Chain A
Amino acid sequence: MPEFSGWLLDLFEDPREGLVLYFIDEAGPRWRLRRPFPVTFYALGEDAQLRTLWQHLSDRPGEITLSRARRMDVFKRDAVTALGITVENPYQARQVFQQTAARFPNLEYADADLHISLRFAAETGAFPLAYCRVAADQDGQLQEIEVLEGAWTLKTLPIPLRTMSLSPDVPPHHARPHRLMVEIEGETYQFDLHTWRALLVNLRALIQRYDPDLLLTDWGDTWLLPRLLQQSEAHHIPLGLNREPGRGVSWREERTYFSYGRIVYRGQQIHLFGRCHIDRQNAVLWNDYALEGTIEVSRVTALPLQTAARVSPGTGISSIEMLTALREGILVPWQKQQAEMLKPAADLFAADQGGLVYQPKIGVHKNVAEIDFVSLYPAIMVHFNISPETILPDPNADNLVPALGLAIDTSQDGLIPKALRPLLEKRIEMKKHLASTPAWDPYRKNFKSRSSALKWLLVTCFGYLGYKNARFGRIEAHQAVTAYGREALLSAKEAAEDFGFEVIQLYVDGLWVRHPDKTQPADIEPLLLEIQARTGLPISLDGIYRWVVFVGSRQNKKRPVANRYFGVFQDGSIKVRGIDARRRDSTPFVAQAQMHLLELLARAEEPEAALPEAIAFLQNRLRALRSGSVKLPDLLVRQQLGRKMEAYRTPSPAARAVLQLNTVGKELHPGQRVPFLYTLGKPGVFAWDLPHKPNPRAVDVARYQRLLLRAAGIVLESWGLDERKLTERVLSDASQLCLPVPPKKHPVQHRRNIPGVIDPAMDRALKGQSQ
């Protein structure tokens, strides 16, 4: 009877054996275990219909067990009677549910479409990548599982994951790859992508020899694995991508969806069995928190690693809520029915609002302290017990939400606070740890990634409360959170003013304050304690700016914008929001230059002293641009595609780039980014992913110059150099920098060779567009 300690790597339903589980034994071996795992879902509705359903399902003994159950309905705040339908084999459960729902569409269903790993976690406590002690019998039947490290453990043992990474030599949507690079245990192998047989045989040998737990690929979902599978079939050389014998890979379709007002595109996905596959290019927030953050998401959401890598934070939050509900015996509705309460229209004025946002004073402010509430909205939900079931329509109760005419039941913990509390506490602990450890601390990087993963989940949980399809969402709860948020921020403002501070800016969960004599962190401490005492919510000093500049809007620079600023903290670190250096569509050439200017200003004792150097730097960059020594990738603009492309009468540069790609048969989807260069002549852009190479001489130098000087102007304007003055000063050395480009460098006959310019198909497409 094997008994070992190790990590739960993967689990899935199996048609014959119920549930199959793969483990990493800390002593080295990998185990495949199994156990029966019956799954129960519930039907609710009129008695007569439930009786019919009972009769309908009662002739499948051994397969389906029926029972009458009393379960908690969170929206009704009471237990309800339901028909429990237990399917012996979890593999069949989905099908049984779908057939039932199709046949009895007027019934409501609960606990119907939950991920098997959530059910397993609710029943045993063991979640994916949990470190546990496991016992099984000779047949490989799982007997016992005991979690040794909970999902909320801060310092966890490192998982001895065997990782094989696979990447083509170039991005396949950009150019045709020729080689496949494989890396495992410090060894790198290169395979020729033109000799498939050799590649397949060798790759199979590597997979057999190393038996990796994780395939970490680039474009594995959208390009590499589909090709490997296709060739493997054509050459009759099975690769053994799965560990589980006899199973094909699982494909999920590509999709585009809206999240937080942003449009998101996610490519098709390929999941494996017994082994994990993560495509770094298709994983969520990989650049932000990488594998360690993804493991964290997997652990706290109880979703398998491959799934956790690809779901939005909203789905992650939803999983945490569903897991909490399962543990508490609360029904998870299949379709949310709950509607908004009927309320006087007069209440809508106060309720239908977001966070409190001031219009800052444009310009430089010195010695400003930035104070932020820590995870304000989740903290409010936990502190004030906000949850769909705790909101009461009682304007006369004691515990009223400010200005909403709703009350909160605080007699017991709500579902949402229960789900969020450990998440919030873990994040605060990690932040504390990060703040107090030196840079060389071995846990620092690990904590940073994991803390970032938790931050994304927490940021999303508020929006999710107001999402129309969220199982445990509720408009009133969403409104209550913002109402408390506005009160908290105003209380903080009042406290600051009582302490003699001037309030420079308020923004949803943070405030910027200044006091002539209170310019050190210790001076701010009493204010923090006071705000915490008045609001009951955790707050921290983000830092004290030596100076901070609020800039105007992009359209009208005299109009203040709440969240567009840059500044330098006392320790010399720079904070930037909303300007080119931070925007994801900025060209690296412009963003890096803007950031460098900020660094120059930050380094100087007084920012004014840095101006001559700043001008010299800009002249230098322009010289580099003109002489062609700026690398083309640094000039790429990466604009995200909106929902409707064809709607524009004059197509935007991004739309023109997409049209270019369309003519060579490349399709793009809303939510994807299209990288392109600005070029001379028509259509004025060159899509980077076209099959031919751009002509470096076609680069629209004048346009990049304007972009650079505009971005520089935003930073330097407060010290007297706006875009216009800057242009004069920088270009005063006219002999070197006169623009536009002298015609002899771009003879007319050259234009014909500028790729993407004269292509007749393109031209037609564009003409059709403008009509």
Chain B
Amino acid sequence: MGRTLPSATQLMHQEEAALARFRRALRRGDQLIFDDLFTAAQKHISAAAYAAHALPFETFLMAMLLEEHKQVMRLQKIVEALEEMHA
């Protein structure tokens, strides 16, 4: 039995493609950040597939947010450590 629906990876490519005009109009530097967001979301592609949401972009946004927050937490720890050093 072949699959009927596109895989989560294909879906992510579709969503990225759907935003191609938006991306094109961004400044070069912003384009790279835009790409980073999708790379980050890619890390959770299997969770997104398992979630099986009818509108997968919502799940992808959540995945991007998750990686963003992970980064914030990491930076926060560094800031705290630096503050302690200088306290």
Contacts and interface: CB of A to CB of B under 8 A. Distances in A.
B24 interface: no
Contact of A348 (B1, B4, B49): B4
Contact of B1 (A356, A467, A506): A467
A355 to B, nearest CB: 10
Contacts of B53: 349
Interface stretch (B15-23, B30-38, B40-48, B71-79): B40-48
Contacts of B4: 348, 352
A405 B86 CA distance: 59
Given A348-B5, A467-B1, A359 B52 contact: no
Given A358-B46, A359-B43, A353 B52 contact: yes
Contacts of A358: 46
Nearest to A474: B1
B46 A346 contact: no
Contact of A478 (B1, B5, B49, B54): B1
A226 interface: no
B27 interface: no
A346 B3 contact: no
Contacts of B43: 359
Interface string A338-355: 000000001011101110
Contact of A506 (B3, B45, B46, B49): B46
Contacts of A346: 54
B5 A352 contact: yes
B1 A403 contact: no
A357 B3 contact: no
Contacts of A359: 42-43, 45-46
A403 B45 CA distance: 19
A68 interface: no
Interface in A335-388: 346, 348-350, 352-354, 356-359
Nearest to A465: B1
Contacts of A478: 1
A352 B5 CA distance: 7
Interface residues of A, number: 20
A359 B41 CA distance: 11
A349 B52 contact: yes
Contacts of B46: 356-359, 506
Contacts of A466: 1
A475 interface: yes
B57 to A, nearest CB: 14
A468 interface: yes
Interface string A485-508: 010001000000000000000100
A411 B87 CA distance: 70
Given A356-B46, A359-B43, A359-B46, A350 B52 contact: yes
Interface in A495-536: 506
Most buried by A among B1, B43, B54: B1
Contacts of B49: 353, 356
B54 A349 contact: yes
B54 to A, nearest CB: 6
A506 B49 CA distance: 14
A357 B47 CA distance: 9
A270 B5 CA distance: 43
B42 to A, nearest CB: 7
Nearest to A467: B1
A349 B53 CA distance: 7
A349 B1 contact: no
A155 to B, nearest CB: 39
Contacts of B50: 353, 356, 486, 490
8 contacts: A356-B46, A358-B46, A359-B43, A359-B46, A403-B52, A466-B1, A467-B1, A506-B46
Interface of A: 346, 348-350, 352-354, 356-359, 403, 466-468, 475, 478, 486, 490, 506
Given A352-B4, A356-B46, 10 more contacts: A346-B54, A348-B4, A349-B5, A349-B53, A353-B49, A353-B52, A357-B46, A403-B52, A490-B50, A506-B46
Interface of B: 1, 3-5, 42-43, 45-46, 49-50, 52-54
